[in-house]
Structure 1
Amino acid sequence: MDFEEKPFLRECKDIIEGSFGAYLNLSQQIGDLVNQHAQMVREAVSKLYSLLILTGNHSKPDTGIFMQLLKPLSESIMAIQEFREKNRASSWFNHLSAISESIGALGWVTVSPTPAPFVKEMTDAATFYTNKVLVAYKEKDKTHIDWAKAWLQFLNDLQKYIRVHHTTGLTWNSRGTPATASAGAPSAGGPPPPPPPPPADLFADPMKSGPGGDDTRSALLKELNRGTEITKGLKKITADQQTHKNPALRSSGPAPYKAPSSTSQPVVKSVAPPKPPRFELEGKKWMIEYQSGKRDLTVSDTDMSQSVNIYKCKDCLVVIKGKVNSITVDSCTKLSLVFDDIVSVVEFVNCQNIQAQSMGAVPTVNIEKTDVVEVYLNAKSLTAEIVTAKSSSVNVSVPSANGDFVEHPIPEQFKSIFNGSVFKTEPADKAA
């Protein structure tokens, strides 16, 4: 059978033409940076498919050659991630992040013996940002809802595909000739073959210096396995050549090693200069970045179409007055946030020691990868949904009838019990 007709390739094409094709079509409908990003993803998937064609025709090469074959794919993955970083201030940031945070799933070809769970982890990473898209465009534009679902469906389809055809890792044709760095895969109706390898190497193994890494290691192990035989070639030192028995040899031989003096010039490591703080309105997004020790950061000239992005701020107090669409707090430490009405969501990602107080209505508070959080709700925000993931020490305080705040810890542990058909999950440490 021609390798193009093998089931693992045919089913991969079905996924590319199905859920992945739907993602590409919806990205084109949205346009702008989302479509540009999608074309980069299309190129990366094309390179993955070309690699799979290669595995259907060749046996597994040595590690050095395999790393060279992976270079086109690794270059595409890095470019996709860099595109998001270059457009952090874009209104499409959540769309770009959903893709860049999970595009590493295409690197499953390097994972062994369990590549499918690796893709599942990438899917979970994408879900955080696709949820933002779902919240932002709920009852506004179904195209974006379908877009988010299509990308997640592609990742789920990829995971199922791997479980069937590459259960313990990338499968090669054991009866084929070993793949070479210059080997090309015929396209025959599929995506085009990969271009020449670029210099960057995302999947490079630092323990190997190149294609000969395995041979060098084997030679070393062979020498070590000689045991005492390895010392037979060493020259024996006689008593008259030992310096501890012949002091006169000490002055004529090389000077012994001396530890460097404590007064010697210390080695100064280069440190990247701190980035300048920002506090400005860029389009419809307030950018508050790299602030430190500021207790008077106030955004007052707002409207409900604007969002606020607070990034890498430390020991600051930020007050948001008026009604805004959303607030995102990313990679901040010891931050206090006070806000009025929110249209969609307030979220905290990768933060430490956060205090947040709602003075108006807020539909959703998302907390992910954040430790030590105090959220204070008022009477208007008691219906808020508190969504947490991979976070600890999260407490939500609500006002009581006498006006005092009552603190409620959010559970961190859960237990799941199989009821005969599905698992039922509930908190393992219910608050009294």
Structure 2
Amino acid sequence: MSTDSLKNVVERLESVASKLEKIEHGVSNLSLAGVVGSQDPSDIHDVAPSITAFDEIVKQNLKKYYEVSEKIGGLVRDQSKLFEQLVTEHRNLILIASKSKKSPESLPDISRKQIELTVKIVKMTADNRSSPFFTHLSAVSEGLGAFGWVSVEPAPAPFVHEMIGASEFYSNKLLRQYRNKDQDQVDWVQGLNGFLKALEAYVKTYHTTSLTWNAQGEDVKTVLSKLKMSCPSSQGEATDKGEAKPSVPKSSVASNTNALFGELNKGTDITSGLKKVTSDMKTKNRKASASDNLPKPKSTPAGGKAPSMKSPPKFELQNNNWIIEYQTGDAKIDVDITEMRQVVRLYKCDGATVRIKGKLNAINIDSCRRTDIIFDEVVSIVELINCTGSVNIQVLGKVPCITIDKVSGASVILSKTSLDTRIVTSKSDSVNVMVPDNENSLKEFPVPEQFVSTIRDGALFTESNTHIGE
């Protein structure tokens, strides 16, 4: 073989090797994104610097967290699997934005899987308070609010910083417990904390004023089609096995307000225009004050016992947690939120009214009875668990998600700006959702309690036995 021929062969081999390296790099990115289906190699490789940077902070910080979680096993391992899926969905969202024209109205749909995973992680923590790993579970679930930066303008990085503090309240406990005793546990904390702090720096660098979209990109639906990704419907969708999930009743609102996290950082008066409940509405003979705008459910279950009140009432701020416990009778509690990362926790209150003023991270209501909670704005989630006998929640501003678990008797009143709230119920009865209508009154929707399951073509389909709102 001549020298020229050999040279040509070497050049061709180098060219092939270069293409293989590009394809390998693209496949790696595809795996991290969780994208289903095939794409052109050029599209796979063509990722924005923000995606590469996100992959790097995941690789550098979460490997040890996942490894130690697997070693600990049990609930910690199970939660880490959900957290891994959440990180993947977060990466998907950033990827979609990097290839799409700015489309805030599409944010609720492309964020929906992220919200569903967040609910699962928070519920896992709430259901396992007696677990010896409750502090581990809490460190993760309290940090989930950081993923909400995607809807914050004009300064999402400080928002992430606020959310990190809620997680560190628990992770610092673990460091004090295990430092110089168990290096794996220390590595677990450092991996989780390291990722959240790296996320803050990442947002500050690549999404300085808001989630970065692509001005030269295509519309979101076209990008989803090319990436072979699907956007879950806000109504009942089918599972992988063909099982139909029951729909949550939801009022129609304009697309520019239909965002699960929308307008979280605005400082305007979110209570302006709030309509009072008057005596001629469904909930008769109630005074038109904020604390009395909470109607009782049509059916209050009998036999519910009031929680034991042997412990003294408590109302205090511990780090970033407002603790409200054993408040009875006509107790009226006003909570003035001073930092967005603060959390309000109610436990075994009976007959109290709690008014929360300002924007906060989350609200947890556990084992309460005949209690009214009125709040302005929550950036992550409101949890209602193990409650009986007319517990009422009124949203004056916005909240992405409300979870109701093992509750008998509850009402949720939404404001006009919170009609996109996702309400998740399980093992609950006598739950009503009330929304404002065009006649300055409230329209009431009972949440279905009974479901009908049928077998169709070898698959199980489940739907509520009544169609609410028709």
Which gives a bigger RCO, structure 1 or 2 (Cα 8 Å, sep 6+)? 2
TM-score by length of 1: 0.49
Larger Cα-atom Rg: 1
TM-score by length of 2: 0.45
